[in-house]
Amino acid sequence: MTGRPLAALLDVDGTLVDTNYLHTVCWFEALRQAGHRVAMTDVHHTIGMGSGRLLDRLLGEDRDRGADEAISAAHKTLYATWFERLPVVEGAQELVRTLAGRGWRVVLATSAQGSELTALRKAIGADDAITAATSADDVEASKPAPDPVRQALEQAGTEPGRALFLGDTVWDVHAARKAGVDCVALLSGGIARAELEEAGAIAVYRDPADLLARLDDSPFGRLENV
């Protein structure tokens, strides 16, 4: 391996930790408490965005934003009840450790904030293999804006051509592509293969375990040999 370091930029929710449906239910209930009836399928397809963008998409950008803070706070309170039992996606910890062991700088790039990110990292259980983490607190704009990916690249000390992004939503793919980084996608977040490929994912795997089993022949393995 020559040149600048390789960087594995990893989304967390739905990619490493099986939380997309938990977020869906918590957002659904937070919206219901505020008097909004929103279909769960619509909520699910916004997961991966920051809270502001999520509410824009579900409630419209021209809405009265006076209740946004209360809705977001309700979601956080509901989701926090899961902090001690967040389920890790199969193979997530092993993938993180294997990539780090092969010389990749592993950087988390997530829309989570504060205590959420702390709980997610605890669930993954591989902090010693993680170089850095970029959260919603560190950027001005959340996915699908490229800000989280660019910040993660900076933390990894590398360039777009020496990095790959691993995510599970079309918002991950869009953010990575806008930052000039190829995105490998997983089906573990509940988004269909066709949607991920249409968004621009260069490869799609079932979950981290599936990717790990085929790592040598994956975009990660190929980039190691460039």
**39 against 138, higher pLDDT:** 39
Determine phi and psi for 8, rounding to 5 degrees: -100, 110
Give the pLDDT of residue 113. Answer: 85
Model pTM? 0.95
Mean pLDDT of 141-169: 96
**Nearest by Cα to 99 from 218, 226, 185:** 218
Of 165, 226, 169, which Cα lies nearest the Cα of 48?
169
Per-residue pLDDT, averaged over 50-77, amounts to 95
> What is the rounded CA–CA span in Å between residue 127 and residue 224?
23
Give burial (CB, 10 Å; 0-12/13-18/19+) of 215: middle
> Where do the DSSP E strands lie in the chain?
7-10, 105-109, 132-134, 163-167, 182-186, 203-205
Mean pLDDT of the chain: 96
| pLDDT band of 112, cuts 50, 70, 90 | confident
Looking at the predicted structure, is the pLDDT value of residue 177 above 70? yes
Cα dist from 170 to 19, 38, 80, 121, whole Å = 16, 20, 25, 23
User: What is the per-residue pLDDT for 144?
Assistant: 93
Strands 182-186 and 7-10: unpaired
Please give the pLDDT value at position 2. Answer: 56
> Is pLDDT of 69 > 60?
yes
Domains in the chain, CATH or no CATH each: 7-19+87-224 (3.40.50.1000), 20-81 (1.10.150)
**Range 192-197 contact pairs with CB under 8 angstroms and sequence separation of 24 or more:** 195/170, 196/169, 196/170
- Give the mean pLDDT of 8-17: 98
In the block, tokens 């619509």 appear at 42
